[in-house]
Amino acid sequence: FLPGVLLGLVLMGALLLPSAASAAECTDTWDGPAAGSWGTAGNWSAGKVPSASDVVCIPAGNVVTTTSTLSKAGVLQVGGSLVISGSTLEVSNGAVSSEVAHLTMGSSAHLGGAGEVRVSGSLTWAGEGYMEGGGSTVVGPGATVTTSAAGNHMLTGTRRFVNEGAY
């Protein structure tokens, strides 16, 4: 082959390969009201509450609150707001990063599991709560972190908290 043709074939092949950074395909998408409960099966496209194997998608403009004892997801893709309040949200997929625009940890909130949760807009940690398990929580560049003085904010297990944003 001529060098230019070979380079063209290599570049064309690279364009055809899937990107490792591409988002996982949604398996359960929020289609409930603009503000509603994670634990209501009718609020989800699959007609069931998400499980540990689901790629959970919440479009921008929606506020979804976990209030049941234990809520699960494999991966999160949240363009709107996710509120963990008086409950645990376990993100299990440690191979694919979850993306959350706005995350609020309310009173008695637990965020856990093996997954990495990347916050791109804001993290509000109000009241006593835990981030636990083997995963990580990463506040990205340009994002903000706000904590309240009330209660303890704890990391347990091997969970990592990385703040690349503003506190």
**Percent of the chain scoring above 90 in pLDDT:** 74
Q: Tell me how far apart the alpha carbons of residues 24 and 146 are, in angstroms, rounded to a whole number.
A: 29
| Total-model pTM | 0.85
**What is the pLDDT confidence band of residue 15, given thresholds at 50, 70 and 90?**
very low
Question: For position 107, what pLDDT does the model report?
Answer: 87
Asked if residues 124 and 144 have their Cβ atoms less than 8 Å apart, the reply is no
**Per-residue pLDDT tens for 57-106?**
999 999 999 987 899 999 999 999 999 999 999 999 999 999 999 999 99
C-alpha radius of gyration, the chain, whole number: 18
